Amino acid sequence: MTTKGKRILLIIGGGIAAYKCLDMIRRLRERGHTVRTIMTKAAHEFVTPLSVGALTNERVFTDLFNLDDEREIGHIRLARDTDVVVVAPATADLIAKMAGGHANDLATAVLLATDKPIVVAPAMNPSMWQHPATQRNVAQIQNDGVEVVGPGIGEMAERGEAGVGRLVEVPELIAAIEQRLNPTKYESAKPLAGKHVLITSGPTHEPIDPVRYLANRSSGKQGHEIAAAAHRLGARVTLISGPVSLPEPNGINLVRVVTAAEMLEAVQQAMPADIAVFAAAVADWKLAKPKSEKIKKSSSGEPPALKLAENPDILKLIGHLTKARPTLVIGFAAETEDVIANARKKLKSKAADWIVANDVSPESGVMGGDRNTVHLVSRAGVESWPEMHKSEVAAQLMARAAETVSPRRTAAE
Ligand code: C5P
């Protein structure tokens, strides 16, 4: 789907990744958009107004107090005569100014004056990105309604440096811009029509006896949101859920299960699928021999010894299928430490295409909460997404999945 003929105001910040904006401008124009640009003073060190102007075929705005500009188009009009404002690359300094509401140059004045959605693509050195001040500022602008895309992980311009801080790739930024421009149009294009998406969600309960069970704190919120997002994109959805107290999502086929063994059986019955998302927190162990009667306290006061047995690993079984394997197998990795390293291991051992890794340490508030911070780990690398509502993580994950399984029908076209 193409979101045709939109007006994009691109603020180019001063970073080595500014050169990628040239490619982005070309592609946005090919897609029918008009692109106006503001270059910060620092951006001039990396790209020239001449090349930006040649590609946009528009004049390039650079200085708040340029009287000619103000006569021709005041900064307030510049801020409003657009459908979206995009900041790329967004430096730590520019993000700090946005967070603080500064307006001492044209870029920041426009960002403060605009009443349109803002999409920000940060790019900076990993230490600058991880600094608590930057993280605070990013959280602040997100709270103010700004969408933050990336940064990605990888090699930095500085020799020998790698980590989180790279500008996201241009197609991904374009997809984010177009989705922001017209989310409902994106959904109404139904890029997953004709596809079967299978999702596991929630915890499993492994009986100890008829009244007791082993369980975990998974709420099922993330998995259920993924089911809803896949449905909005037109997929036929089978949601296989362990015991949760969540409303039943509309328009999907919900299969309720209790144990891991039941979940596996339901998954096998629901196959084949084009996309399989394993968001459930499946209990790794079950009781080797659950009792059929309630276990009584023993007269000696000795607690009973519970012998555990391993549950089937559903993701691993589906990931390793050689026949009728889903095109895209997505697993989750809930970790309390070494999130990315563990996710990478899981990608391999479970033969998944993507692992969505998240930190579920008690301080993160992810378990049971509404928000999530995830890293998308694939063979191509790692992308760290900013903290988002679980519904937004779900929407972006399914949009990416749609691009992968039916690329001709998605926003990136
Ligand atoms: O190994 P771990 O439990 O951390 O792996 C998490 C991923 O594997 C999740 O996607 C989860 O849904 C899936 N999984 C599974 N069956 C299991 C254990 C985990 O499908 N028995």
pLDDT of 159 higher than 70: no
Q: Give the pLDDT of residue 298.
A: 85
Q: Ligand 1 pocket: which residues have CB below 6 Å?
A: 200, 260, 278, 280, 282, 284, 311-315, 331-333, 346
The span from the CA of 60 to the CA of 73, in Å, is 12
In a domain, 409, yes or no: no
Among candidate residues 316, 254, 244, the one with its CA nearest the CA of residue 284:
316
In a domain, 66, yes or no: yes
pLDDT of 410 higher than 50: no
In a domain, 299, yes or no: yes
Distance from residue 63's CA to the centre of ligand 1 (Å): 53
Q: Whose CA is nearest to atom 8 of ligand 1?
A: 315
Q: Whose CA is nearest to atom 13 of ligand 1?
A: 315
Atom number, ligand 1, closest to the C-alpha of residue 332: 10
Q: Give the pLDDT of residue 1.
A: 44
% of the chain surpassing 90 pLDDT: 64
Question: Are residue 168 and residue 295 in the same domain, yes or no?
Answer: no
Name 354's Cβ contacts closer than 8 Å, sequence gap at least 6.
Answer: 328, 329, 330, 331, 347, 376, 377, 378
The span from the CA of 230 to the CA of 387, in Å, is 21
Residue to substitute in 206, 282, 308, 377 for testing ligand 1 pocket (most ligand atoms within 8 angstroms of CB): 282
Q: What is the CATH number of the domain that holds 391?
A: 3.40.50.10300
Question: Are residue 89 and residue 138 in the same domain, yes or no?
Answer: yes
Q: Tell how far CA 106 is from the center of its chain.
A: 31
Question: Are residue 180 and residue 85 in the same domain, yes or no?
Answer: yes
pLDDT of 155 higher than 70: no
Mean of the pLDDT values across residues 342-347?
96
Question: Are residue 56 and residue 163 in the same domain, yes or no?
Answer: yes
Among candidate residues 46, 23, 26, the one with its CA nearest the CA of residue 34:
26
Distance from residue 117's CA to the centre of ligand 1 (Å): 37
Q: Give the pLDDT of residue 58.
A: 92
With beta carbons less than 8 A apart as the criterion, state whether 108 and 96 touch.
no
The span from the CA of 107 to the CA of 332, in Å, is 39
Question: Are residue 148 and residue 200 in the same domain, yes or no?
Answer: no
Distance from residue 46's CA to the centre of ligand 1 (Å): 45
pLDDT of 60 higher than 70: yes
Q: Give the pLDDT of residue 69.
A: 65
Model pLDDT for residues 6-43, shown as the tens digit of each residue: 999 999 999 999 999 999 999 999 989 999 999 999 99
The span from the CA of 74 to the CA of 69, in Å, is 7
Atom number, ligand 1, closest to the C-alpha of residue 314: 20
Mean of the pLDDT values across residues 154-166?
69
Q: Whose CA is nearest to atom 9 of ligand 1?
A: 332
Question: Are residue 218 and residue 164 in the same domain, yes or no?
Answer: no
With beta carbons less than 8 A apart as the criterion, state whether 398 and 229 touch.
yes
Q: Whose CA is nearest to atom 17 of ligand 1?
A: 313
Q: Residues 104, 137, 143, 216: which is the catalytic one?
A: 216
* Range name among 95-99, 153-157, 367-371 with the lowest pLDDT average: 153-157
Question: Are residue 182 and residue 202 in the same domain, yes or no?
Answer: no
pLDDT of 232 higher than 70: yes
Instruction: State which of 154, 169, 189 marks the end of a domain.
Output: 189
Distance from residue 315's CA to the centre of ligand 1 (Å): 6
Q: How confident is the model at residue 53 (pLDDT cuts 50, 70, 90)?
A: very high
pLDDT of 208 higher than 90: yes
Please name the residue that has the structure tokens 């440096």. Answer: 161
Q: Which residues of 134-156 are buried (b: 16+ CB within 10 A; e: fewer)?
A: beebbebbbeeebbbbbbbbbeb
Among candidate residues 143, 125, 44, 141, the one with its CA nearest the CA of residue 85:
141
pLDDT of 2 higher than 60: no
Q: How confident is the model at residue 196 (pLDDT cuts 50, 70, 90)?
A: very high
Question: Are residue 175 and residue 262 in the same domain, yes or no?
Answer: no
In a domain, 237, yes or no: yes
* Range name among 133-137, 224-228, 251-255, 402-406 with the lowest pLDDT average: 402-406
Residue to substitute in 339, 344, 350, 374 for testing ligand 1 pocket (most ligand atoms within 8 angstroms of CB): 350
With beta carbons less than 8 A apart as the criterion, state whether 355 and 377 touch.
yes
Instruction: State which of 189, 214, 240 marks the end of a domain.
Output: 189
Q: Give the pLDDT of residue 3.
A: 53
Output 217 or 256, whichever has higher pLDDT.
256
Distance from residue 205's CA to the centre of ligand 1 (Å): 14
Q: How confident is the model at residue 238 (pLDDT cuts 50, 70, 90)?
A: very high
Output 154 or 263, whichever has higher pLDDT.
263
Question: Are residue 183 and residue 332 in the same domain, yes or no?
Answer: no
pLDDT of 294 higher than 80: yes
Question: Are residue 158 and residue 200 in the same domain, yes or no?
Answer: no
Q: How confident is the model at residue 370 (pLDDT cuts 50, 70, 90)?
A: confident
Distance from residue 303's CA to the centre of ligand 1 (Å): 30
Distance from residue 222's CA to the centre of ligand 1 (Å): 14
Mean of the pLDDT values across residues 213-236?
93
- Inter-residue long-range contacts of 284-287, CB under 8 Å, 24+ positions, other chains counted: 284/310, 284/311, 285/206, 285/214, 285/309, 285/310, 285/311, 286/206, 286/207, 286/214, 286/259, 286/260, 286/261, 286/310, 286/311, 287/206, 287/207, 287/208, 287/214
Q: How confident is the model at residue 412 (pLDDT cuts 50, 70, 90)?
A: very low
Atom number, ligand 1, closest to the C-alpha of residue 283: 21
Give helix 92-100 / helix 106-113 axis angle, nearest 10°: 50
In a domain, 2, yes or no: no
Instruction: State which of 189, 213, 239 marks the end of a domain.
Output: 189
**How many domains does the structure of the chain reveal?**
2
Q: What is the CATH number of the domain that holds 92?
A: 3.40.50.1950
Q: Which domain holds residue 219?
A: 196-404
Active site residue 216: yes
Atom number, ligand 1, closest to the C-alpha of residue 334: 4
Question: Are residue 365 and residue 306 in the same domain, yes or no?
Answer: yes
In a domain, 413, yes or no: no
Mean of the pLDDT values across residues 103-127?
93
Atom number, ligand 1, closest to the C-alpha of residue 333: 6
pTM recorded for the entire structure = 0.64
Question: Are residue 181 and residue 203 in the same domain, yes or no?
Answer: no
Q: How confident is the model at residue 243 (pLDDT cuts 50, 70, 90)?
A: very high
